[in-house]
Chain A
Amino acid sequence: MNHDQNHQKPKTPTITLRKFTLSDVDSFMSWAADPRVTRFQRRDPYSDPADALAYITTHILPHPWYRAICIDNTPVGSISIKPAPGEDRHRASIGYRLAYDYWGKGIATEALKLTIKAAFEELDDLERLEAIADVDNPASQRVLEKAGFKEEGILRKYVRLKGETRDMVMFSFLVSEF
């Protein structure tokens, strides 16, 4: 029973987060091999599933917090939390990527909301979640804002991306906002 008769946008599908397994390699390739998705990542798109398998094995499986964004238990993207180095355990950064066909449906925003909740519930002493988005990536900036992150400023020449040094927008989500 859809009461939103005049609402043009389709509803966001139900999404869940779970840990990756090696059998997710084909799903993983659906975004990791796509240059449209890797455009704002340091890495180039994967072309060989063997390389993707190696990445899942050496980086994803042992990672402290790395989840598959799933629709009907099938991964359509990933999201991860990385604690800040050294003494600053109160701080962690979020990164996420989504298969191109699933852009524009509110999925990344929903995955972020679930991750924010999990982060503040699971990580002791966490007070600040942060995320950066390329100045030329307004879609990602909007996702972060819709999920409740606040823009703090533009950090100039902050990261190297495929041979170029990029300006990044810094966002934060504080425990007090949770």
Chain B
Amino acid sequence: MDEQATEINQNRQPLAVTLREFELTDVDDYFVWTSDDRVSAWWRWDTFTNKEDVLAFMEETVLPHPWMRAICLDGRPVGAISVTRRTAEHQCRAELGYVIASLYWGRGITTEAVKLVLGTIFGDMEGLERLEALVLVQNVGSQMVLEKAGFTKEGVLKKYLIYKGKISDMVMYSFIPTDN
């Protein structure tokens, strides 16, 4: 079975990317990307240094999150993707976030995961009309993920968010249900 999957990947067949909910038993996999400086460099959070902290994070933030999924490659979590809905009068919009282990960068896995989300999220979240994503202007890889998944670049919001103490310009992307 495993060999067949490998062969399929070598023949450049579509990747076996699936999404599922996280469980605490995924902590070892979750530690892989959260302990990687190359990954955390692009995020507002600091690199995790021990599994106990990751476990606590999973208990406090990941498992209770209203919509968060493990990005799985051949059944094994290699990253995470979440949709965080705004509250009160802003419920028409939600923010997309995703992270993937650096070993798997540049292989189209994240783009595939984003497309899977786009296929279900507007049905899952009643009243959702806009899925948006904010990307650091320097994070060209992430911008390409969104563009390949069909997001529209709306503009650059200057000095919008603070990343690792630095006030940063962010590119705003959106996807609305009527986009092809």
Structural contact, A155 and B159, CB atoms closer than 8 A = no
Known contacts A128-B160, A160-B92; A155 and B167 CB within 8 A of each other = no
Binds B, one of A67-75, A85-93, A102-110, A114-122: A85-93
Residue B93, interface by CB 8 Å: yes
Structural contact, B159 and A128, CB atoms closer than 8 A = yes
Q: Give Cα distance in the complex from A38 to B101, angstroms.
A: 49
Residue B137, interface by CB 8 Å: no
Structural contact, B93 and A91, CB atoms closer than 8 A = no
A148 CB to nearest B CB, Å: 14
Within 8 A of B (CB), among A98-152: 127-128, 130, 152
Structural contact, A157 and B130, CB atoms closer than 8 A = yes
Residue B64, interface by CB 8 Å: no
Within 8 A of B (CB), among A136-178: 152-160, 165, 170, 172, 174-175
User: Once A and B bind, how many residue pairs between them come within 8 Å at the CB atom?
Assistant: 65
Which of A128, A157, A165 touches B158 (beta carbons < 8 Å)?
A128
Residue A63, interface by CB 8 Å: no
Structural contact, A158 and B93, CB atoms closer than 8 A = yes
Residue A42, interface by CB 8 Å: yes
A87, A127, A156, A175 interface centre (most CB from chain B within 10 Å): A156
List chain A residues, Cβ under 8 A from B154: 153-156
Structural contact, A91 and B159, CB atoms closer than 8 A = yes
Structural contact, A158 and B130, CB atoms closer than 8 A = yes
Which of A128, A156, A159 touches B89 (beta carbons < 8 Å)?
A159
Structural contact, B162 and A170, CB atoms closer than 8 A = no
Residue B155, interface by CB 8 Å: yes
List chain A residues, Cβ under 8 A from B176: 156-157
Residue B32, interface by CB 8 Å: no
Q: Mark B86-128, 1 if CB is under 8 A from A, else 0.
A: 0001111100000000000000000000000000000000000
Q: Give Cα distance in the complex from A176 to B92, angstroms.
A: 33
Q: Give Cα distance in the complex from A81 to B159, angstroms.
A: 17
Range, interface on chain B: 20 to 34
B60 CB to nearest A CB, Å: 17
Structural contact, A159 and B90, CB atoms closer than 8 A = yes
Q: Mark B149-180, 1 if CB is under 8 A from A, else 0.
A: 00010111111111000010000101010000
Structural contact, A152 and B155, CB atoms closer than 8 A = yes
A138 CB to nearest B CB, Å: 18
Within 8 A of B (CB), among A59-84: none
Structural contact, B159 and A90, CB atoms closer than 8 A = yes
Q: Give Cα distance in the complex from A34 to B167, angstroms.
A: 40
List chain B residues, Cβ under 8 A from A170: 155, 157, 172
Which of B89, B92, B156, B162 touches A157 (beta carbons < 8 Å)?
B92
Residue B129, interface by CB 8 Å: yes
Closest 10 CB pairs of A and B: A153-B155, A157-B130, A153-B154, A128-B159, A157-B129, A152-B155, A165-B129, A127-B159, A165-B92, A157-B176
9 contacts between A and B (CB under 8 A): A88-B162, A90-B159, A128-B159, A154-B154, A157-B92, A157-B129, A157-B130, A160-B92, A172-B158
Q: A154-B154, A159-B89 are in contact. List 19 more A-B contacts (CB 8 A).
A: A88-B162, A91-B159, A128-B158, A128-B167, A130-B157, A152-B155, A152-B156, A153-B157, A155-B132, A155-B172, A157-B92, A157-B93, A158-B93, A158-B130, A160-B90, A165-B92, A170-B157, A172-B158, A172-B159
